[in-house]
Amino acid sequence: MERRGEIDMATEGDVELELETETSGPERPPEKPRKHDSGAADLERVTDYAEEKEIQSSNLETAMSVIGDRRSREQKAKQEREKELAKVTIKKEDLELIMTEMEISRAAAERSLREHMGNVVEALIALTN
Amino acid sequence: MPNVQLPPKESNLFKRILKCYEQKQYKNGLKFCKMILSNPKFAEHGGWHVYGLLQRSDKKYDEAIKCYRNALKLDKDNLQILRDLSLLQIQMRDLEGYRETRYQLLQLRPTQRASWIGYAIAYHLLKDYDMALKLLEEFRQTQQVPPNKMDYEYSELILYQNQVMREADLFQESLEHIETYEKQICDKLLVEEIKGEILLKLGRLKEASEVFKNLIDRNAENWCYYEGLEKALQISTLEERLQIYEEISKQHPRAITPRRLPLTLVPGERFRELMDKFLRVNFSKGCPPLFTTLKSLYYNTEKVSIIQELVTNYEASLKTCDFFSPHENGEKEPPTTLLWVQYFLAQHFDKLGQYSLALDYINAAIASTPTLIELFYVKAKIYKHIGNLKEAAKWMDEAQSLDTADRFINSKCAKYMLRANMIKEAEEMCSKFTREGTSAMENLNEMQCMWFQTECISAYQRLGKYGDALKKCHEVERHFFEITDDQFDFHTYCMRKMTLRAYVDLLRLEDILRRHAFYFKAARSAIEIYLKLYDNPLTNESKQQEMNSENVSAKELKKMLSKQRRAQKKAKLEEERKHAERERQQKNQKKKRDEEEEEASGFKEELIPEKLERVENPLEEAVKFLIPLKNLVADNIDTHLLAFEIYFRKGKFLLMLQSVKRAFAINSNNPWLHECLIRFSKSVSNHSNLPDIVSKVLSQEMQKIFVNKDLESFNEDFLKRNATSLQHLLSGAKMMYFLDKSRQEKAIALATRLDETVNDKNVKTLIKVSEALLDGSFGNCSSQYEEYRMACHNLLPFTSAFLPAVNEIDSPSVALNHTANYDVLANEI
């Protein structure tokens, strides 16, 4: 962050209120007619690409390694769960029945069926809860 | 864009695509893109990225994500692609994907602060507070802001960090944290409030009480501070509580709260004493919202009668001797005191349902002060409660005419007009404040003025103008889409500006956006209408039949039809004139509008009432409105009952089961649910050819609800259980007839009971019963209907729906303008 002069109070110039509302007359060409006519120009600035601010840090390495460890643990847990579910055998007719009766996607139907070890009646009871 | 050399043909095409994007001509751009991507060579040259950008601008976010993933396969470490992908992922709330992408961004650019913030936010949203805090702390340390410096962005970072700690229940850490960085936080009030909250959680009660005392000194009207103080002092007895309020009141003599809160707590004589004081002060001062302030006490009948005694005595006394009671002396009360007392009494008796008395008092007040808006406002409200909506609109109109610069009363008047089905008049009323050059309806839609639109929906619905109602339903739905869509730009903006608390609040708001009452109203009406249209589809000829001509004689019908034709012609001419004028005005902007339509492609599709009410698959349209309700408003029983009605017509038995199960869990005794259960059970037994699995699930689950009872017994039990509630009696009676048509007489007798044992004989419920007698729920019963109408009229002489029929049109459900005679009767009141 850039250095600023030493001030105690919070009222510095960098507290911008870029989304101020303005009253507009009928002649003003509406840039985004869906929104109300207030600060449309400022709103445009919201999407402007700004140079990302940089930080100086010498100790990024340790932080990054902690993150790396955590990530591999998360991925592993997720993969294991998926493997367990994939082992379950399910029947195609059961899957299609669930999709038709409950009007849900194939993915959701499949997940539900697998979580109930392929038992379609139990899966349906759970889905109607 | 990666810099690569392209053969001239592709290069030109690429340039054209970029031009399209800049000019927001996304449809054309997408077309060219598809052309290029069909050529496998070009796909390697940033084609997928561009395609993704275009999809995104077209608001096809799922498609865009797929494009970006393809682009990444070819160009793994492209920062721009990763950034764009992350924005899409958070927009679509793919939190795990978002976290992944942000991790990759962090690896590529560990020195950019947005990388850390974005990654931390991902963990926060996934509720992994540990990681989020680690990242935030790492990041905070890099900020190097010296301890005597005040910097807004740093202050926001600290407060965000603290919020995450509190959400993680790390109260000790949070307290230390806030005390350490206190001096650099800009929002001083928030710091105190946080301290108070945490000290309570940590059980450090003495310190907490100090904090709350200071907060009350700062603002003695915030009820939360009093709550906090009581918790901190561990107040258990009433006396202790009253003492606190007494002390605070001495320190802040003008504060209302320490005087108002005790009134909720104390009973009997004590209450009379305190209330007497409270009322006198406020009547003398002339406090218009006085009744509103005390309204929440009206559940307690003892307190209500004490208030009534006190205030009616004031009134009697003030009329004779200008004092609150006859044996006082000192300064006399000014005449306005009597005015506010009468104003209060009008509202009081209105609340108790004694409408005649309420009108007496408000008319007395009006007689003395005919220019006070509040008086006409209350008079209008009384008529609304009576059920005479035309009269109510009339008095609200009177109110607004007293100050045409007051937008509040103008809006209220428009609303009352809509309640009385006076749609054109309501639009005209609003036009006094809407933008010049466009119609009020259009402008109010542009301004997303949803209170107006939802009232219009109901009005059109009552009038049977389903197409117009559906148009407004879709308009409201589009507002919600836009509000959701609008958050896109804030993903980058808020991170840049470091307004992280506001950003997370925004995300959380957007997550539950359609929980808002406006969406519920629009969705509910849309579903009700689509259900009606499914049951009675409109054909092209049935426009004439929309007038419910069954109850009208042939002569009347002819008169009505020719009147309607004349009115339609007139309306058409008017429409054409307006249309021509509008075209002239907007001719200049036509070119620009075309481009903007391109930009928001897919959503400027015009909503045409006639098409909407003749849609091919009304049940599917209804389901679209239902899904957000199922996801977000699952705690409202009506969601599930509306769902049941849809699935009943679709023949989806397991979804019907799901709906009744969920409704049953919320309130097993709900009257509408009871009807659904019986219809459901009957339907299941009528369908013998359901798949085995489905039958198995049904029998197992329905057992839990019906417990082996046959439907007649099930209904009898329901009636017995609710013998004093008219709403329940109505439902039970309807089902009695449904299950056995030969019991029609008994069923009608049950529903039309009006003896003293029946409790809720109010305007709403009585109207519901009479409508049921007309809509076929009890078969043919026009003579019983007439008997019932007369009986209701005796009970509620001012209610429009029960006034004796004039002409041959006697059905309240025929919404024609036949109120001329009603007005005459109303004026006699």
Ranges of H-type helices in B420-489: 423-431, 440-446, 450-463, 466-485
* Tokens encoding B326: 């006859």
ipTM, two decimals, is 0.76
Q: What is the pLDDT of residues B645-674, one digit of tens each?
A: 999 999 999 999 999 999 999 999 999 999
Identify the pLDDT of residue B364: 97
Q: What is the pLDDT of residues B101-114, one digit of tens each?
A: 999 999 898 888 88
* Averaged pLDDT for residues B127-155: 90
Identify the pLDDT of residue B591: 52
B587 pLDDT above the threshold of 80? no
Strand partners, A54: B112
Phi, psi of A54 (to 5 degrees): -100, 155
Find which of B80, B150, B680 to mutate to test the A interface (most A CBs within 10 Å of its CB).
B150
- The span from the CA of B583 to the CA of B569, in Å, is 21
DSSP assignment, residue B112?
A: B
Q: Looking at B161-256, which runs of residues are DSSP E strands?
A: none
* CA-based nearest distance B669→chain A, Å: 18
Does the distance separating the beta carbons of A102 and B658 come in below 8 Å?
yes
- In order of their start, the domains of chain B are 9-111 (1.25.40.10)
Global pTM reads 0.81
B297 or A44, greater pLDDT: B297
- The span from the CA of A36 to the CA of A81, in Å, is 49
Identify the pLDDT of residue A10: 37
B548 pLDDT above the threshold of 60? no
Please tell me which of the candidates B149, B482, B490 has its beta carbon nearest to residue A34. B482
* CA-based nearest distance A41→chain B, Å: 14
Please tell me which of the candidates A10, A33, A124 has its beta carbon nearest to residue B596. A33
B749 pLDDT above the threshold of 70? yes
> 3-state DSSP call for residue B328?
coil
Smallest CA–CA distance from A128 into chain B, residue = B658
Does the distance separating the beta carbons of B113 and A52 come in below 8 Å?
yes
Domain assignments of chain A as residue spans, ordered by start: 60-87, 90-128
B301 pLDDT above the threshold of 90? yes
Share of chain A above pLDDT 70, in %: 51
Band (A57; pLDDT cuts 50, 70, 90): low
Does the distance separating the beta carbons of A64 and B600 come in below 8 Å?
no
Q: Are B349 and B365 in contact (CB under 8 A)?
A: no
Nearest residue to B337 via CA among B379, B369, B378: B369
Q: What is the pLDDT of residues B350-359, one digit of tens each?
A: 999 999 999 9
Helix axes B671-686, B653-666, angle to 10 degrees: 150
Strand partners, B112: A54
Q: Are B458 and B523 in contact (CB under 8 A)?
A: no
Nearest residue to B796 via CA among B829, B751, B821, B747: B829
Chain B contacts of A127, Cβ < 8 Å? 654, 658
- The span from the CA of B16 to the CA of B169, in Å, is 55
- How many C-beta atoms lie closer than 10 Å to residue B163's C-beta? 17
Identify the pLDDT of residue B567: 74
Q: What is the pLDDT of residues B438-491, one digit of tens each?
A: 999 999 999 999 999 999 999 999 999 999 999 999 999 999 999 999 999 999
Query: Which of these ranges, B135-149, B491-505, B741-755, has the smallest mean pLDDT?
Result: B135-149
Query: Which of these ranges, B203-207, B240-244, B277-281, has the smallest mean pLDDT?
Result: B240-244
Does the distance separating the beta carbons of B600 and A10 come in below 8 Å?
no
Q: What is the pLDDT of residues B167-189, one digit of tens each?
A: 999 999 999 999 999 999 999 99
Q: Which of B235-239, B561-565, B569-573, B618-622 has the highest mean pLDDT?
A: B618-622
Chain B contacts of A53, Cβ < 8 Å? 112-114
- The span from the CA of B383 to the CA of B393, in Å, is 9
Chain B contacts of A97, Cβ < 8 Å? 691, 693-694
A–B: how many Cβ contacts below 8 A? 132
